[in-house]
Structure 1
Amino acid sequence: MRQLLLVYVILCCLSLAHPFCPSQCTCVLHGLTDGARTRSVVCNDPDMADVPVNVPVDTVKLRIEKTMVRRIPTEAFYYLVELRYLWITYNSITSVDSAGFYNLKVLHELRLDGNMISVFPWESLKEMPMLRTLDLHNNRITNVPNEAIPYLFNITYLDLSSNKLATLPSDLMDIWPPFNGAPIFANASQKVVLGLQDNPWFCDCKISKLIELSKMSGTPVVLMDLFMACSGPENLAGFPFQRAELDNCVKPSVMSSATKITSDLGSNVILRCDATGFPTPSLSWANADGSPVDNTVQESPGDGIRWSIMSLHGISFEDAGNYNCKAKNYAGNAEATISVSVAGDISTTTVPLRLSNKTEPTKQVSTVIPPTTLPSQPL
């Protein structure tokens, strides 16, 4: 019994020193110039039907290519904590579990091109905070939802080409210059590469920012193919983006009733802004720090027009500052800023000197400022 235990311990030690390689894969240990070593694993057996589960734990690069693997199950790679490159390309993948990439905290590159994925679990990207390359080229993806946008901020190479995308959420382009308002530097070293060609794009206002980007030069966002074309509507079918002129698509413009307002302490204040654009812009108010403001009303008296008012009741010194009115539609964004100042005195209480044993009543001194009257109709 003791001899069997000794043999087991020796085998365990050998497995740690020289990890076993999956039977349908090839494992290679690479020596680096600084003396360190990294391991890569390639699995390309056409008879492989499942993601291997016994890949060496020190693997840095894993390639699963040209196999019969059809799905990526939950926590398929959770033990590969050193994995930086994961290529699962040209297989038969149709299903990716939302927890399929659990614990890949240092993964830098994920390539899933050449599969049959129709729905990608975008929320799974939160498990890969170091991810910079996401390649979904040549799949069957039909939709990128708004919920995907927060997970794409750190991606610098996004390839969605050769899918079945007809549109994109208009807010997607807002995470990159020039649409996010960040200054553009022609010699910026950090570029974002987007692959969006070979999709059946429906050219309407929803993708107007993408069409606008295709007509720009010198931006930090680089399109792999500038000569993308419209598949619809009928009047634009076959037109390249650079020649497409969209109907009923106008960026918003916004104007405030005043840029600076000084109001007495305790008064009521109404701020107003008006916006035009098509589709009709939405309006929202925010403080200088970006936090939303309550007590607002808005109305659209007709297509392409909207106004909004914000009320400040019994204004105090804490209400002083800048308020931003933001207009937004598919074509873009605009905002106007109103600066509010507060004038007046703070009420104070004075305590009289005691001149005798008799106590005199306390006198209160205050500045009374009548409040302004709210109009019955918007300005």
Structure 2
Amino acid sequence: MTLVQCSDPGLSAVPINVPADTVKLRLEKTLISRVPRAAFYNLSELRFLWLTYNSITSVHPSSFVNLKALRELRLDGNLLTTFPWEGLRDMPHLQTLGLHNNRLSSLPAHAALFLHNITYLDLSSNRLTILPAEFLDLWFPLPGLQEGPVQRKILGLHDNPWLCDCQISMLTSLSMSFGSSVVLMDQLLMCSRSLGQSGMLLTQAELSRCMRLSVQPAATRVISPLGSNVILRCDASGYPTPTLTWIKTSSYSVMQESTRVGVRWSIISLNGISYKDAGEYRCQARNMAGTSEAPIKLKVMGVSRLSRPPKKISRKIPSKSSSKYRKKLMFESDSEGCKRGLDRIGLEREESRKLKCFLN
């Protein structure tokens, strides 16, 4: 197992002569300012990569190509203002990501899409002010939706100029709950009402305001005629913005949309309803604070129209002695025609041989 450590203060670029069997590489306290594309491509066995306390200002999104065995990446103590989160796709087994003491000012919501296996994320001592609600929804499963054992994730958020909003408050509350999936390195987060103000600790009053979750249906009881189209709607409010789910065994189309932060509405559309669509529909809202739901009862009225079978047209067969019968025979002028005429009016073959056709 090869370990390589370089702390040359005169080094200004990532070295290219690192042995291919290197498992741990530490480049620390150098003048390296950028990490180029495929900088470590030949180090396929690398498991630990420390690029700490350099002068790095940019990391190319493809810097970590071919690092499929990497478990730990540390970029602490640099000058990064952004981080290429999509580059984490090239490190499918990465578990530890250290970005402590940089200049990151925002955390994009889509970053959570690339953090599936990350169990340690240090964002402390940066310039972050808000934590997107979508980031929390994507990275942390909602209560009651966790499958299997809870995978704990250690998160460092301290020493950032957070605004006192409900996202950061809810995360603090979640970390304090029993069996939570998130563990904060420092739970005493400081925040301010606005940028530039002195810091203050998050209070329980702030947390209780953020935990309110309510669901309001447009109507609790709907009566509609058989075969009509029905739209059911519900609105939910809470922080972070809740996710809505309709619960009913039926086939329907769902549309969900958020009008503003903290408020979301959802509708289901039922077309040509039948009696099987009747029943109770439950609109359920979920966020990190918990769940809440409201029922809507749908009643279908009317009688289905049964299609009547077409009337059978009965054909009256004239008697042998009637004038219509004789005219019918005379109409058939030849022997074959005579036979066809007799057959059509339902006479038996034996009787038809005894009768004579009238010729013109």
Fold agreement, TM-score > 0.5: yes
For the structure 1 residues 50 and 273, does the alpha-carbon distance in structure 2 shift closer, same or farther, using more than 3 Å as the test?
same
Identify the range of structure 1 (70-79 vs 251-260) with the bigger mean alpha-carbon deviation: 251-260
Residues 54 and 321 of structure 1: is their aligned pair in 2 closer, same or farther, counting only changes over 3 Å? Answer: farther
Equivalent-residue separation in structure 1 for 2:224 and 2:156 (angstroms):
53
1:199 is matched with 160
Aligned partner of 2:97 among 126, 129, 134? 134
Structure with the largest fraction of helix: 2
Task: Give the Cα separation in 2 of the matches to 1:97 and 1:235.
Answer: 32
Match for residue 56 of structure 1? Answer: 19
Equivalent residues in 2 for 1:326-345 (5 A)?
none
Question: C-alpha separation between the residues in 2 aligned to 1:207 and 1:84?
Answer: 33
- Other-structure match for 1:72: 35
Residue 230 (1) aligns with residue 230 (2): no
Match of 1:123 among 86, 90, 100: 86
What SS is found at the alignment partner of 1:230? strand
Alpha-carbon distance, 1:272 to partner? 2.5
Deviation at 1:176, TM superposition (A): 5.3
Q: For 1:211, what is the secondary structure of its paired residue?
A: helix
2:70 to 100, 107, 122: 107
CA–CA distance in structure 2, aligned partners of residues 52 and 292 of structure 1: 59
Q: Cα–Cα, structure 1 residues 350 and 73, in superposed 2: closer, same or farther, change >3 Å?
A: farther
Asked if residue 313 in structure 1 is aligned to residue 276 in structure 2, the reply is no
- 8 Å contact 1:283–1:298 — kept in the other structure? no
Corresponding letter in the other structure for 1:227: L
Structure number with larger C-alpha Rg: 2
CA contact (8 A) 2:226 2:272 kept: yes
SS at match of 1:207: helix
Report the alpha carbon displacement of residue 271 of structure 1 after superposing the two structures with TM: 1.3
Is the contact between residue 253 and residue 270 of structure 2 (CA under 8 Å) also seen in structure 1? no
Residues 210 and 45 from structure 1, CA distance in 2 versus in 1: closer, same or farther, beyond 3 angstroms?
Answer: same
1:307 Cα deviation from its structure 2 partner: 6.0
3-state DSSP of counterpart to 1:134: strand
Q: For residue 149 of structure 1, what is the aligned residue in structure 2?
A: 112
Aligned pairs, how many?
A: 314
Please state how far the C-alpha of 1:180 moved relative to its aligned partner. Answer: 5.0
* Aligned pairs (5 A) from 1:1-379: 38-175=1-138, 179=142, 181-182=144-145, 190-233=151-194, 237-243=198-204, 245=206, 249=210, 251-256=212-217, 266-277=227-238, 293=253, 309-315=267-273, 325=283
Equivalent AA in structure 1 for residue 153 of structure 2: V
Q: Kindly tell me: are residues 321 and 229 of structure 1, through their superposed partners in 2, closer, same or farther at Cα, counting changes over 3 Å? A: same
* CA distance, structure 1, for counterparts of residue 296 and residue 266 of structure 2: 13
More off after superposition, 98-107 vs 173-182: 173-182
Q: Secondary structure at the match of 2:172?
A: helix
Question: Cα–Cα, structure 1 residues 87 and 294, in superposed 2: closer, same or farther, change >3 Å?
Answer: same
CA–CA distance in 2 between the matches of 1:113 and 1:232? 28
Deviates more, 1:87-96 or 1:323-332: 323-332
**CA shift digits 1:265-324 (9 cap, x unpaired):** 633222132434479x688666879x9945789989xx9887654332223799799977
Give the aligned residue type for 2:272: G
Using the TM superposition, give the Cα deviation of residue 58 of structure 1 relative to its aligned residue in structure 2, in angstroms: 1.8
Please tell me the residue identity of whatever aligns with 2:236.
Answer: A
Distance 1:224 1:136 in 2: 14
* 2: CA distance, partners of 1:287 / 1:104: 44
| SS of equivalent residue, structure 1 residue 130 | coil
CA offset at residue 52 of structure 1? 1.0
Conserved? CA contact 1:227–1:242, under 8 Å: no
Q: CA RMSD in A?
A: 4.6
Residues 245-264 of structure 1, C-alpha deviation per residue, up to 9 Å, x if partnerless? 26974633114467898977
Q: Distance in 1 between matches of 2:286 and 2:129?
A: 22
SS at match of 1:89: coil
Q: For the Cα contact (< 8 Å) 2:256–2:264, is it kept in 1?
A: no
Aligned CA distance change for structure 1 residues 336 and 79 (closer, same or farther; 3 Å): farther
TM-score by length of 1: 0.66
How far off its partner does 1:49 sit?
Answer: 0.8
- SS of the equivalent of 1:153 reads coil
TM-score (ref. length: structure 2): 0.69
Equivalent-residue separation in structure 1 for 2:224 and 2:42 (angstroms): 63
Q: Which amino acid aligns with 2:29?
A: K
1:210 maps to a residue whose letter is: L
Identity of aligned residues (%): 49
Closer, same or farther in 2 for the Cα pair 1:244/1:299, shift >3 Å?
A: closer
Does structure 1 retain, via aligned residues, the 8 Å contact 2:62–2:87?
A: yes
